[in-house]
């Protein structure tokens, strides 16, 4: 039996992976998420997902382990990378940029074994309605934006701000389920 691990602290990723019937263990793989100078959003998100998966693999001893890592960033309509907000002012800045406009959510997935790395970046276009200053302040008070890239959670209160989505809903929440199944199957086949 191939042992599958999810290198993530995110409760959303755990729930999404459970949703598709995968049996797995959780490992802690904290990495430095600071972008390199001149790094593009695409390069950043794939590098971080891969580093999380590799850091997870380094913590387990079984030779045939398969480890999943993932990272989500929001890319504003102006092309700025939004991770998790530092504070209310940061969340205000992000949500004002997303208001009444379309942004991209990039979730990269990396599946690693001792021999190989598979990775994929899933890009979803999300359109928001107008967010007033009062709406943003009230939303911050819910606590929902605090630990989420771009200062929102589509699966929560912010679902009511989204008037259009093109791409993968599960990727926006934190793990692209179709792509996860595809890459996991490749990795599992390779170790058996
Ligand atoms: C845009 C968006 C992000 N998010 C979440 C997904 C991720 O958990 C988080 C982005 O931060 P990440 O750094 O990708 O992940 P994480 O720190 O929560 O977990 P780990 O690195 O241990 O795997 O934002 C939502 O839950 N809903 C959304 O709509």
**Torsion, Cα of 98, 170, 143, 26 (10° steps):** -140
Q: Do the beta carbons of residue 109 and residue 130 sit within 8 Å?
A: no
Q: How far is the CA of 102 from the centre of ligand 1 (A)?
A: 19
The reply to whether ligand 1 has any atom less than 6 angstroms from the CB of 182 is no
Between 192 and 181, the higher pLDDT residue: 181
Asked whether residue 41 carries a pLDDT value surpassing 90, the answer given is yes
Domain residue extents for the chain: 4-191
Write the CA distances from 59 to 21, 23, 152, integer angstroms.
Answer: 24, 18, 31
Look up the CATH number of domain 4-191: 3.90.950.10
- Does the pLDDT value for residue 182 go beyond 90? yes
> Which are the contacts of 159, defined by CB distance < 8 A and separation ≥ 6?
none
Q: Which of 25, 32, 62, 71 is catalytic?
A: 71
Share of the chain above pLDDT 90, in %: 98
Q: Is 134 a catalytic residue?
A: no
What sign results for the dihedral spanned by CA atoms 167, 168, 169, 174?
Answer: negative
65-77 residues labelled b (16+ CB within 10 A) or e (exposed): bbbbbbbbbbbbe
Tokens of 33: 């998420």
> What's the whole-model pTM score?
0.97
Span 84-141, pLDDT tens digits: 999 999 999 999 999 999 999 999 999 999 999 999 999 999 999 999 999 999 999 9
ipTM: 0.97
Q: Which pLDDT does position 15 carry in this prediction?
A: 98
CB of 153 sitting under 6 A from ligand 1: yes
Cβ–Cβ contacts within 10 Å for residue 40, how many?
Answer: 13
At residue 1 the predicted structure's pLDDT band, cuts being 50, 70 and 90, is: confident
- 29, pLDDT greater than 90: no
Distances (CA, A) of 81 to 22, 39, 63, 97, 117: 31, 10, 36, 11, 25
Mean of all residue pLDDT scores within the chain: 97
For residues 76-85, average pLDDT: 97
Taking residues 77-90, what's their average pLDDT?
97
The atom of ligand 1 lying closest to the CA of 33 is 13
- Spatial distance between the Cα atoms of 6 and 24, rounded to a whole number of angstroms: 7
Positive or negative CA dihedral for 10, 103, 37, 85?
A: negative
Distances, alpha carbon 141 to alpha carbons 16, 19, 26, 99, in Å: 26, 29, 30, 18
């Amino acid at each position: 039996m191939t042992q599958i691990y999810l290198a993530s602290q995110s409760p959303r990723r755990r729930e999404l992976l459970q949703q598709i019937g995968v049996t797995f263990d959780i490992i802690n793989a904290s990495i430095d998420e600071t972008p390199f100078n001149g790094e593009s959003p695409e390069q950043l998100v794939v590098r971080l997902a891969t580093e999380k998966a590799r850091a997870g693999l380094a913590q387990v001893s079984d030779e045939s382990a398969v480890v999943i890592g993932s990272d989500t960033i929001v890319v504003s309509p102006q092309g700025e990378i939004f991770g998790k907000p530092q504070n209310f002012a940061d969340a205000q800045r992000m949500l004002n940029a997303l208001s009444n406009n379309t942004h991209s959510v990039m979730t990269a997935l990396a599946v690693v074994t001792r021999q190989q790395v598979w990775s994929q970046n899933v890009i979803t276009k999300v359109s928001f309605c107008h967010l007033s200053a009062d709406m943003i302040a009230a939303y911050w008070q819910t606590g929902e934006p605090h630990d989420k890239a771009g200062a929102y959670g589509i699966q929560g209160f912010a679902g009511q701000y989204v008037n259009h989505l093109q791409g993968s809903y599960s990727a926006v929440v934190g793990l692209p389920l179709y792509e996860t199944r595809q890459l996991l199957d490749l990795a599992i086949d390779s170790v058996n």
